[in-house]
Amino acid sequence: MFDCIIVGAGPAGGTAAYHLAKRGRSVVVLEKESLPRYKPCGGGVSPIVQQWFDFDFSPAVSVKADEIRYTWKMGDPVDVKLEKNESVWMVRRDVFDHFLVKQAQKQGAELRTQTAVTGIEFKGNAWQVNTVNEPVEGRYIIAADGAKGPMARWLGFQNRKRRMAGAIEIETPAPRDQEPIVHFDFGLVKNGYIWNFPKADGYSIGIGNFRGGGAQDLKGMVAEYAKQFDIDLNAYNQYGHGICLWDGNQKLHTQNAVLAGETACVVDPFTAEGIRPSIFSGLKAAEAIDKALAGENDALEKYTEVISEEWGSDMVWAKRLAGAFYSIPHVGYKVGIKRPTATQSMLKILCGELRYSDVANRALKRLGGGFIPGMGG
């Protein structure tokens, strides 16, 4: 009988496993794949996540990028040089996720790979999690099995508040002497952007549509974009995947269980940033389960409140900004991205030093009062 069963070995699951095991709780992580496993993801992470751990993440960071280049339909570039302490981590998810789980194992967490969950049952005062292997029993569950995982549904979260977005991701090799520049292109794709994130020996090129808007030839657009880097995307595997964007506060706890990571839809509806908020949710989920195990009756209910107050309340503003920016992206590029302070503000938001609510009113006014009413709020 484990204190906690964690389903999913992504950033949320790995974080929760680490912090629970460090507190002396018996933890098992069930992962359907074998690790390390490829995961399509741009892989941009704010270094601020380091503050939540007492080990060094350097071995799991592919590149530290200190330059960002924005373009509008591949032209009209804006280059921003970051200070050394502002550099953005670029990670490969196979390496990053496995590294995090290995730190949890060092603290005593158990990892079972190639162990897909087939169903769950609450028996007495504990969960029985059935898998393709033998059943596993635990007092609590953290569901961290991602956007497509079945755990939320099995736990009774039938109608979650979430906005489904789509992305296509391609990993390609790159020249070894490349400058580590983070690229964002706006204007080509409606309601989203195209990116090229540097890795130690390659690029992660992708395209995302974050607010719907009808059929678009995402493959064609990203292939055209890649040509400027002398890359023929037809030569590489392309991975399409869904993203669960935050779409409003919701209950994230039930009988002896909580949702974390993308299962809890903690993905920024403006930038589609997911790794940092997933880690944050894993940290808070671990704290809640630890308190519940210690006998605190409303610990899981408080987890829902914490995510709502510390994450969801600011995502209301992120959602409004997304509605305004993506409805008039040419204006957003001109009055927002081309402002020297815009990137600094976004970096501070990604680092937790600023909240969207601190800058949203000013930004919305710049985008034009006529676009504010009812823009997706």
Q: Do 304 and 330 share a domain, yes or no?
A: no
Q: Is residue 233 located within the same domain as residue 167?
A: yes
Residue 284 located in a structural domain: yes
Whether the pLDDT of residue 148 is over 80: the answer is: yes
Over residues 198-209, the mean pLDDT reads 92
Query: Domain end: 244, 270, 288, which one?
Result: 244
Cβ atoms of 10 and 149 within 8 Å: the answer is: no
Per-residue pLDDT tens digits for 29-51: 999 999 999 888 889 999 999 99
On whether both 274 and 129 belong to a single domain, the answer is: yes
pLDDT at 345 over 60: yes
Residue-range definition of the domain harbouring residue 204: 163-244
Q: Is residue 86 part of a domain?
A: no
Mean pLDDT, residues 97-124: 97
One domain for residues 158 and 240: no
Any idea what the CATH number is for the domain that residue 232 is in?
3.30.9.10
Does residue 225 sit within a domain? yes
Residue 100 lies in a domain: yes
Name the domain boundary from 204, 227, 244.
244
Residues 6+ positions from 207 with CB-CB distance below 8 Å? 167, 168, 189, 192, 193, 194, 195, 218, 221, 222, 225
pLDDT score of 17 more than 90: yes
* Together in a domain, 37 and 150: yes
State whether 291 and 264 are in the same domain: yes
Looking at residue 78, what is its pLDDT? Answer: 93
Domain count, the chain: 3
Domain boundary among 244, 275, 294: 244
Asked if 167 and 214 sit in the same domain, the reply is yes
198 and 284, same domain (yes or no): no
> Does residue 267 share a domain with residue 183?
no
**Has residue 84 been placed in a domain?**
no
Residues 148 and 191 grouped into a single domain: no
CATH of the domain at 30: 3.50.50.60
254 and 233 in one domain? no
Q: What is the pLDDT of residue 139?
A: 98
Are residue 149 and residue 286 in the same domain, yes or no? yes
For residue 239, tell me if it sits in a domain. yes
> Is there a contact between 65 and 347 (Cβ–Cβ < 8 Å)?
no
> Does residue 121 sit within a domain?
yes
Q: Judge whether residue 370 has pLDDT over 50.
A: no
Residue partners of 88: CB distance under 8 A and separation at least 6: 44, 45, 46, 47, 64, 65, 66, 68, 82, 182, 347, 350
Q: Is residue 131 part of a domain?
A: yes
Q: Tokens for 230? A: 């002398």
pLDDT at 372 over 70: no
Q: Is the pLDDT of residue 375 over 70?
A: no
